[in-house]
C-alpha cells in the first residue's frame, strides 16, 4: 500500500537534530517524524506518480488518511497531493476541505500550507464561498478563523477579492488569538503588494483599533513613511 511505503521512507529519513528544532518551532504539541522539508516534497512527488491516475475520490480518501495521522509530514503530503489535482475541484469539495481543517489541522504551518494553496485556489474559482469564510471568521475554532483570512492570500496575489479581505479583517480585528491576528495581518501585507494605497487607507482608518500584532504584519512591506504614519498615535 502506498501509504505504508511513504511512512517507511519518512522513518528512513529522520534527522534527529532537525526534529528537535522542528518540535521546538511550534507552541502546540505537534507530531513530527523529523524529515526535512525538501525530502518530504520529494517523497510526495515520487509517490504521487503511483496514484495520479486513480479517481479523485480515492485520492481524497488517501489524503484524509494522511491528515488523520496528525503527523506534520503526512499532512504536508496530503496538501501536496490534493493541490496537484486542483483542476478537478468541485463545489461539493468545500465541505471536505472544511472537515480537514476542523478535524485534523492542529498547527499554523499545516493550516497555512493547505489554505494558501488548496483552499485559496478553490475560493478563487468559486468566490461565492467567501460567504462561508465570513462564517469561519466568527468560529470558536482558531484554525477556521485563521483560515478565513489566509485563504484569501491566493486571491489578493492575483488582484482579486480585496474588499472581501477587508471585511474578514474587520471581523477578526480584535481577535484574542495572536495566530489569528497574525493571519489577517499577513493577508493585508500580501494585499499591499497589489493594492498598496487601498491597504494603507484601510490601516490608517483603523489604526487605533488594529492590535499592534496585526498592524506590524500589515505594514511590513510599505515604505518607511507609511509605516511611521500607521504606527503613530
Last residue of a domain, one of 88, 109, 131: 88
Domain with residue 131: its CATH number is: 1.25.10.90
On average, the pLDDT of the chain sits at: 95
Is 52 within the bounds of a domain?
A: yes
**What is the pLDDT confidence band of residue 215, given thresholds at 50, 70 and 90?**
very high
- pLDDT of 60 strictly over 80: yes
pLDDT for the residue numbered 185: 98
Banded pLDDT at 218 (limits 50, 70, 90): very high
Contacts for 15 with CB less than 8 Å, ≥ 6 apart: 34, 35, 36
> Residue 93 and residue 87: Cα distance in Å, rounded?
12
Q: Which of 35, 57, 88 finishes a domain?
A: 88
Report how many domains make up the chain.
2
Measured CA to CA in angstroms, residue 180 lies from 71, 146, 176, 187, 201 at distances of 22, 5, 8, 11, 22
Instruction: Write out the E strands in the chain.
Output: none
Residues 78, 111, single domain; the answer is: no
Residue 95 in domain:
no
Query: Tell me: the pLDDT tens digits for 26-51?
Result: 777 788 999 999 999 999 999 999 99
Are 149 and 55 within one domain?
Answer: no
Cα torsion 106, 81, 185, 165: sign: negative
Q: Are 150 and 83 in a shared domain?
A: no
Binned at pLDDT 50, 70 and 90, residue 53 comes out as very high
The pLDDT tens digits of the residues spanning 74-110 come to: 999 999 999 999 999 999 999 999 999 999 998 999 9
- Coil, strand or helix: which one is 34? coil
Stretch 140-146: mean pLDDT: 97
User: Which of 44, 59, 88 delimits the end of a domain?
Assistant: 88
**What pLDDT does residue 211 have?**
96
- Position 18 scores a pLDDT of 83
Which structural domain, as residue segments, surrounds residue 3? Answer: 1-88
Is 115 found in the same domain as 80?
Answer: no
Say yes or no: 211 and 107 in one domain. yes
Q: Are residues 190 and 109 in the same domain?
A: yes
Residue 188 contacts residue 156 (beta carbons within 8 Å): no
What does the block give as the cell for 70?
496528525
pLDDT of residue 19: 84
Amino acid at each position: 500500500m502506498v501509504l505504508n511505503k511513504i511512512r517507511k521512507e519518512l522513518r528512513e529519513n529522520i534527522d534527529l537534530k532537525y526534529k528537535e528544532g522542528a518540535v521546538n518551532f511550534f507552541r502546540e504539541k505537534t507530531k513530527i517524524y523529523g524529515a526535512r522539508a525538501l525530502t518530504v516534497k520529494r517523497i510526495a512527488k515520487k509517490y504521487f506518480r503511483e496514484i495520479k491516475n486513480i479517481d479523485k475520490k480515492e485520492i481524497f480518501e488517501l489524503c484524509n488518511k494522511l491528515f488523520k495521522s496528525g503527523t506534520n509530514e503526512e499532512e504536508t503530503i496530503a496538501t501536496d497531493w490534493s493541490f496537484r489535482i486542483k483542476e478537478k475541484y468541485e463545489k461539493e469539495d468545500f465541505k471536505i476541505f472544511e472537515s480537514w481543517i476542523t478535524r485534523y489541522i492542529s498547527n499554523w504551518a499545516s493550516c497555512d500550507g493547505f489554505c494558501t494553496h488548496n483552499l485559496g485556489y478553490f475560493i478563487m474559482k468559486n468566490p461565492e464561498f467567501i460567504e462561508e469564510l465570513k462564517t469561519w471568521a466568527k468560529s470558536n475554532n482558531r484554525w477556521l478563523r485563521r483560515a478565513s483570512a489566509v485563504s484569501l492570500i491566493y486571491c489578493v496575489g492575483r488582484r482579486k477579492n480585496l474588499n472581501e479581505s477587508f471585511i474578514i479583517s474587520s471581523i477578526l480585528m480584535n481577535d484574542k488569538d495572536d495566530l489569528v491576528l497574525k493571519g489577517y495581518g499577513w493577508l493585508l501585507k500580501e494585499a499591499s503588494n497589489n493594492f498598496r494605497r487601498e491597504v494603507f487607507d484601510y490601516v490608517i482608518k483603523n489604526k487605533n483599533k488594529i492590535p499592534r500584532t496585526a498592524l506590524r504584519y500589515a505594514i511590513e512591506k510599505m515604505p518607511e513613511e507609511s509605516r511611521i504614519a500607521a504606527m503613530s498615535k
